[in-house]
Amino acid sequence: MAFLVVARESWFVVSTGSSSTNPRRIDWSVVSSYAELLKTPGVARIIAAQLTARFPNGMLSLAFLLHIEHQTGSYGAAGLVLASTSIGQAIAGPLTSRLMGVWGMRRVITITMIVCALAVTSIAVIGMPVPLYMVVGFIAGITTPPIQPAVRTIYPKMVNSQQLTPLFSLDASAQEIIWVLGPVITTFVSLQIGTVYGILLAVVFLIGGGIWFLSSPELGRVRIPRSRRRLGVVLTKPTVLLATITGFLLVGACAAIEAGVVSVFGEGGAEAGIVLAIFAIGSLVGGLSFGHIPISPWALARRMFIVFVGMAAASAALNVWWLAITLFVAGIGIAPALAVLFAIVSSSVKFSDTAEAYGWVGTGQLIGAALGSAIAGFLIDHSGSVGAFWAAGGFALLGFLAAFIGRRWSPDLRGRDASPIPDTQPVPVQPS
């Protein structure tokens, strides 16, 4: 019932004007505001560039799962490789984000991009025993380029305070192309052409998108100040911890769903890609529709509940029509939930701590993608395809409970600026 109320509010706006005004009307500014936002200099370009650079984040978990399973004949072995990759990503997120305040964004992103591309390519083209796959996977994980914390730190310097929350919503909708459409592309390429090509396509996005993002002038205009706190202190903020845990569980649920869909329909048809595409469409519709709903302390729990309902229902019948319907419902909550995560983190930390805070949030999401696929793989081996949907439902339920319990730490952003807390010292801005 809660998600029906939220969905209704996404299309209609309650007027707070005089009594003579129609109390419930369609707010066409919701539609036009995204177009106006994209006209802001640099916004469309940097969204597209960072989206391309981060696209492998939504491809590699499933690509590794398929490739290692082909090489070893075991989803369990693939799960071990994904787990080692997730450990590397857990270390990398906050660490490389902090380094950007010391070495600069361009230098850190360039170095990590090159090493990560070499490691991922090695997994694709070199046959290895499982322990060596795990080592190379760890290297690929620890050198994941910190694109997300960089762009989240840049956003508040590109738009005014009124545009920041809609920008987070638009970015969250675009991010769903990474987490949901990315696996669709990986599925088609890996199953129709070959798993090696599925991984190498991710490398093309990694390098091409990384170069595009590095060429953005905004990286030269904004310098992340060196944080004066110890590494990890920002994670003691309840809001940052809430966003990290919930993001981990949300993306873990999505990754388990993706593995389950591929397992259900096998490698011979296009049904898996179609179902995942519908999943993506649901998320895009939700993100664009909910973008201007004011963020209350209950917003995250409500949106996670939508995800849980859809994913829990999906396991009832593993056929293409039922999965398409239930996953479309689940998708409606995904991008709106991510938008809440970005906004509450931005409004709760100082500018010098934003990169590290988003590094932790990004780490949670990347670990969720890897472990969601890994746990789903083990359950598929032992319980069949339905095991992956059980895993997804479990992740989504825990995500809803985390958001419900943590609502007391979720700031009320209704009518409030979502920009980071200013530092006490001036933040240098370099001319382009």
* Tens-place pLDDT, residues 360-398: 887 788 788 778 888 888 888 888 888 999 999 999 999
In a domain, residue 415? The reply is: no
CATH of the domain at 248: 1.20.1250.20
Give bridge partners of residue 26 from the DSSP assignment: 12
* Residue 287: predicted pLDDT: 78
In a domain, residue 3? The reply is: no
* Residue 62: predicted pLDDT: 82
pLDDT band of residue 10 (cuts 50, 70, 90) is very low
- Picking from 338, 363, 399, the residue whose alpha carbon sits closest to that of residue 168 is 338
* Residue 16: predicted pLDDT: 35
pLDDT above 80: residue 9: no
* Residue 2: predicted pLDDT: 36
- Average pLDDT, integer, range 156-181: 73
In a domain, residue 312? The reply is: yes
In a domain, residue 12? The reply is: no
Q: Are the beta carbons of 362 and 345 closer than 8 angstroms?
A: no
Mean pLDDT score of the chain, rounded to an integer? 80
Instruction: Give the C-alpha distances (Å, rounded to integers) separating 149 from 67, 99, 100.
Output: 29, 11, 10
- Average pLDDT, integer, range 55-83: 85
How far is it, in rounded angstroms, from Cα 40 to Cα 42? 6
* Residue 87: predicted pLDDT: 84
The number of folded domains in the chain is: 1
- Average pLDDT, integer, range 337-352: 79
In a domain, residue 16? The reply is: no
- Average pLDDT, integer, range 93-110: 85
In a domain, residue 423? The reply is: no
Question: Where is average pLDDT lowest: 2-16, 97-111, 116-130, 173-187?
Answer: 2-16
In a domain, residue 424? The reply is: no
Residue 194 lies in domain: 44-224+231-409
pLDDT above 50: residue 55: yes
pLDDT above 90: residue 110: yes
In a domain, residue 18? The reply is: no
Q: Are the beta carbons of 170 and 33 closer than 8 angstroms?
A: no
